[in-house]
Amino acid sequence: MKIQLAENYGFCFGVKRAIKIAEENINAATYGPLIHNSKEIARLDKDFKVGLVEDFTTFKSGEKAIVRTHGIVKDELASLHASGVEVIDATCPYVTKPQEIAQEMSEAGYDVIIFGDEKHPEIKGVKSYATHGAEVVTDIPDVKKLKLKERVALIAQTTRKVEDYMAIATYLIPRHKEVRVFNTICNATFENQEAVNKIATQADVMIIIGGKNSSNTKELYSISHDNCSNSHHIEDETELDFSWFEGREFCGISAGASTPDWIIQNVINAIQKSVN
């Protein structure tokens, strides 16, 4: 039986980069969870002595602090630097960009609007860079409540749907003299979905690996199942049922955005062993 991974699966570029940075900085600690996967955080702690700190004020001079992929608030970053902490920035470059735009546009006199979730760490961070403040909106009714000047700059949270973002831009453009719309959406999540769609149409058994409560993994499973009825969502190799592979020729594999490569590899090894 042929076993093949989808063209895009699992961790996105930003998360892979952050994990590499953590592995290269033994004895450092991340400020807030580096990523949303407890098994991976435990592995970094066990194998690389990379701990987890929830309160940035507890870092002491000379200690190493890793800034998580979603970034942190500007004042907290400045305070870490000021207190002599060695700051290692693992903020995803796709998150750093909107931070820079927020600052630049705010300083240039634009009203900055951020389309996203106000409570999300990424948005708290991006907002903090707008020197003169920013408004966070989730839909057009939110935008309607704002008192905006003639010049407006629009930024989106990296994981937002482009169609929803365009609806807000379309609302703003005829109502203001100048609207600067920045495409800050990251395609990583959608790339995994497109890739699973493609491979599931060819495979006669599909394995989707990821947390049972991971919404992006469930979405991948649903897309897979639409194209291949012999699709299975598992968390790790212990949940495999080898009867799924009997008489099958092509096994496709995908994984959610928070599934580490080593779990995926364990699953592949177990399947290979069972069919040989």
Q: Which listed residue (6, 50, 92, 143) binds ligand F3S by CB under 6 A?
A: 92
Per DSSP bridges, beta strands 86-89 and 134-137 are unpaired
CB 30 within 8 A of CB 80: no
Tell me if residue 46 falls in helix, strand or coil.
helix
Question: Which of 129, 128, 125 lies closest to 158 in space, CA to CA?
Answer: 125
Q: Which of 8, 69, 103, 192 binds ligand F3S (CB under 6 A)?
A: 69
**By rule CB under 6 A, what count of residues binds ligand F3S?**
11
CB of 66 to ligand F3S, least distance (A): 14
Site string (172-201) toward ligand F3S, x via CB under 6 A: --------------x-x-------------
95 binds ligand F3S (CB under 6 A): yes
User: Is residue 15 a contact residue for ligand F3S (CB under 6 A)?
Assistant: yes
DSSP H/E element including 154: strand 151-156
66 contributes a contact to ligand F3S by CB under 6 A = no
Helix or strand holding residue 10 (H, E): none
Nearest to 168 by CA among 137, 130, 123: 137
- Find the shortest distance in angstroms from Cβ 122 to ligand F3S: 8
Q: Is residue 21 close enough to count as binding ligand F3S by CB under 6 A?
A: no
Q: Which is nearer to ligand F3S, 98 or 252 (CB)?
A: 98
Nearer to ligand F3S, 43 or 97 (CB): 97
Check binding of 12 to ligand F3S (CB under 6 A).
yes
Instruction: Answer whether 23's CB lies under 8 Å from 77's CB.
Output: no
CB atoms within 10 A of CB 133: 11
- Applying CB under 6 A, among 31, 94, 115, 129 the residue interacting with ligand F3S is 94
Residue 125 vs 252, nearer CB to ligand F3S: 125
Q: Single out the residue of 106, 128, 157, 158 in contact with ligand F3S (rule: CB under 6 A).
A: 158
CA distances from 239 to 31, 204, 233, 242 (A): 33, 19, 9, 10
